Structure 1
Amino acid sequence: MEIDQLKKVIEELPEGEVKSLLFHILLRVNHIGEKGYSETEFVDDVKSIYKTILDITKERSESKQASTCQRIHILFGGSPEGSLKVALKEMGVFEKERVISFWNLFSVGPIWQLHEEVGKEARFAWMKEALNDKHEEFQEYLLRFHQTVHQIMSIPADVPISLWTAENAHEQTGLRFVLHLLKDKPNDIKVINTTLAYTEHFKQADIKYVVLHSGEIPPEKLQTIYEHSKQKYSLSNLERQQYEQEWLHLSDNRESLRIWRNGKIQSVCIDYYDQYIINLAKKLRRERESEEFMKSARLIGEALGHLDQYIGDDFLEYRVRKLIENGVFEMEGSLKAMRYYGVKLS
């Protein structure tokens, strides 16, 4: 890339992204020589940051060149984004309607003052420390968060918005965060509750099934939900204000875990699921008496499969590693990723 093009790319980056990039580059400089972090790894990290910036800039450029957008869809998590894009293509409206999605899992990690720069820095510092970056995607994840916020703040005032959210702490927290970002915008906004919509349109008398998160819904059923959403009312000013106030209340809390109970988001202690994991480990040990150590991936998979909450396997592995650190579990292998080590109760 020529110098003039590079300058243009940097000039177009939002201030928050620039500060974040600079912080993480300087942090890596500070870590050279520490904890086995080499200059070669530093160069590779900077190259990765460079590539991510170019990719995001290209996406923004393509977005600006696209035809006039008639509706914006905002989702939470990667899976529903792909499914909705397929649905929009099948309906022949993909060229006119745009999809914006967060990679964040809003049920996990601090959200204290997340609408401010200090809150963003606190959240990502926690995530970098707590969650195993097994695919080395953290830097791209960080940049894409800033990109998504920038995209939302840049939505023209006359473009209607649809917010897709299931009944879980992740998507419901994300919903309130986005509505706070949009608090000064006059856009027409609809909230599509995928859990309720799925039950309404696809309930079968002989099958008890409740959608846990929007990513579970296939594209053909998202089409049906979208078509019926056209008859639904947009949020009133009073409803928007209520969501915004709920966000301010949530973002005033310093807990790093949230669950969905009785139709509300509840902030709970970070060790909320520790005893659940321990009890499950005891159960699996009884079932597999011949195995001294059980694969951590097996334990985490079982824990995730029996939960009625959407918190992700990364968080559960973080708690398993904490239980190892606290002497509750013994381990063998490498903590590089869950598939590399086994655990047993001490």
Structure 2
Amino acid sequence: MNLKDFLIIKRATDSLGEGELKPYLQFMLAKIKLVKQQEGTSETLAHELIKLYDELKGLQERKVFWSPVPNCTHVHIVIGESFAGSMKQALRGLGLEETHKVISLQENYAIGPLGLDLAEGRMERRNWFSNNIIGGLEEYDEFENEYNEILAKLDLIPKGAEIVVWTSSNACEQIGLRHAVHLLRSKPNSISLYDACSVCEELYNRPDAFIHYMCSGEIPSEKLREAISRLDDKKRLDSTDVARLDKEWKVITEQSGTLRIWRDEAVLEVPADYYDEYLLEKLDDLKPLGGDEGYLKSSRLIGEAIGNCEQFIGDAYFEYRLRELIYKGVLEIKGVPAGMRFYSIRRK
């Protein structure tokens, strides 16, 4: 499989919400089970999987229907493909897909260089991901085309449409919010700002049933439907808000670091090794299975780190820091670091 085909598959699956992705997985597992039970043929399985593959690829082509059109009344700006998939599903459930459109900013703004306003800065970001993040080997031309596609979609927003920017209390979405406002700063549209996680927690949390969402992508579409139905004009940004957020974006992009967190209602740049000691502490707390010479699956450690971290960073960054600790001689490795599932680590 070439890189282009892999990227098509990745974008198609990333754009699906949890409720949309599960049926595809269930379908594949059911078909594989039938073959194992000799109730189907490998030829039939291959044919049906090819149809599934073609359908997934077609999702990329159908994404155009969510682009702004002249008669749309609302444009929702969201951060991340997972949240975008849930948002689209929620809008469909409300019957709003014709007048409410979605633009997703796909970057993990918490990590990597952020000089996105210049071609040189985008090249630097692409190179950093290529050199440090597994799965970040995207062609620069593809990276540049995707960025230009977002700019083109923003240009298509009609003057009378309400722009709704969704965010939550993490560095990725807070920086994404500031990037969105920076890109929209010259448009005449009104811009409203909503914290998706806070809205849903306020709507659904009870003393006996409490969920704290780390990012908007964790919110199921049925809860988003209720949040969308309560949109009003009380969250609109004024010109002072827009100027402040635009300035904050520019300050962030001038920083040279590659890791950012959200603390005390502000984006804070921290050293690249900020979570190294945290990872080592989690490694010491976990007990490897007996007979494995003290090695622990890196995926288990990263899962534990994500589950207990007060910030939303993403598994890719933790995996990158594990490899850095291996290169520095702090950790020993068993396996091949081609992905977190393929190797184990222990203290050297």
- With the shorter chain as reference, the TM-score category is 0.7 to 0.9
CA offset at residue 198 of structure 1? 2.1
Cα gap change, 1:322 to 1:269, in 2 (>3 Å): same
Distance 1:67 1:153 in 2: 11
Q: Indicate the residue corresponding to 2:200 in structure 1.
A: 198
| Distance across 2 between alignment mates of 1:65 and 1:234 | 20
Structure 2 contact 66–102 (Cα < 8 Å) conserved: no
CA distance in 1, matches of 2:68, 2:246: 32
TM-superposed deviation, 1:66: 5.6
Match of 2:30 in 1: none
Q: Distance in 1 between matches of 2:113 and 2:244?
A: 22
Q: Could you tell me which of 208, 232, 235 is aligned with 1:233?
A: 235
- How far does residue 307 in structure 1 lie from its aligned partner after superposition? 0.9
RMSD over aligned Cα atoms: 2.8
Unaligned runs of at least 5 residues, structure 1: 1-40
**What secondary structure does 2:217 align onto?**
helix
In structure 2, relative to structure 1, the CA distance for the partners of 1:288 and 1:174 (3 Å cut) is same
Structure 1 segment 81-160 matched on structure 2, within 5 A: 81-111=84-114, 113-133=115-135, 143-160=145-162
Distance change in 2, residues 1:141/1:210 (3 Å): farther
Matched, 1:322 2:324: yes
Q: 1:211, 1:235 → 2: CA distance? A: 24
| Structure 2 residues not aligned, in runs of 5+ | 12-56
> How far apart in 2 are the matches of 1:315 and 1:338?
11
2:262 alignment partner, SS class: strand
**Deviations 1:127-171 (Å, cap 9, x if unpaired)?**
11110018x766766643432233224423332210011110000
Task: Describe the superposition over 1:173-217 as per-residue Cα deviations: whole angstroms up to 9, x where unpaired.
Answer: 000011111111111110111132123222212344322111111
Partner of 1:276: 278
Identify the residue that residue 81 of structure 2 maps to in structure 1. Answer: 78
Aligned positions, number: 300
SS in 1 for 2:286: helix
Structure 2 vs 1, CA of residues 58 and 291 (structure 1 numbering), >3 Å: closer, same or farther? closer
| Structure-1 separation of matches of 2:87 and 2:175 | 20
Query: Deviation at 1:78?
Result: 1.4
Greater Cα offset, 306-315 or 153-162 = 153-162
1: CA distance, partners of 2:241 / 2:342: 48
Give the drift of 1:239: 0.8
Decide whether the 8 Å contact of 1:124 with 1:142 is kept in 2: no
Which residues in structure 2 correspond to 1:1-346 (within 5 Å)?
Answer: 44-45=2-3, 58=61, 68-111=71-114, 113-133=115-135, 143-285=145-287, 288=289, 290-292=291-293, 293-346=295-348
CA distance in 1, matches of 2:208, 2:60: 50
Cα distance in 1 for residues equivalent to 2:148 and 2:59: 10
How many angstroms apart in 1 are the aligned matches of 2:73 and 2:274?
43
- Asked whether the 8 Å contact 1:331–1:342 carries over to 2, the reply is yes
After TM superposition, the score normalised by the length of structure 2 is: 0.78
State the one-letter code of the partner of 2:195.
N
Partner of 1:229: helix, strand, or coil? coil
Instruction: Indicate the larger mover: 89-98 or 206-215.
Output: 206-215
SS at match of 1:209: coil
Moved more, 268-277 or 55-64: 55-64
Following the alignment from structure 2 to structure 1, what is the Cα–Cα distance between the partners of residues 8 and 235? 44
Q: What amino acid maps onto 2:84 in structure 1?
A: E
Q: Return the TM-score normalized by structure 1.
A: 0.79
Structure 1: distance between partners of 2:78 and 2:212: 19
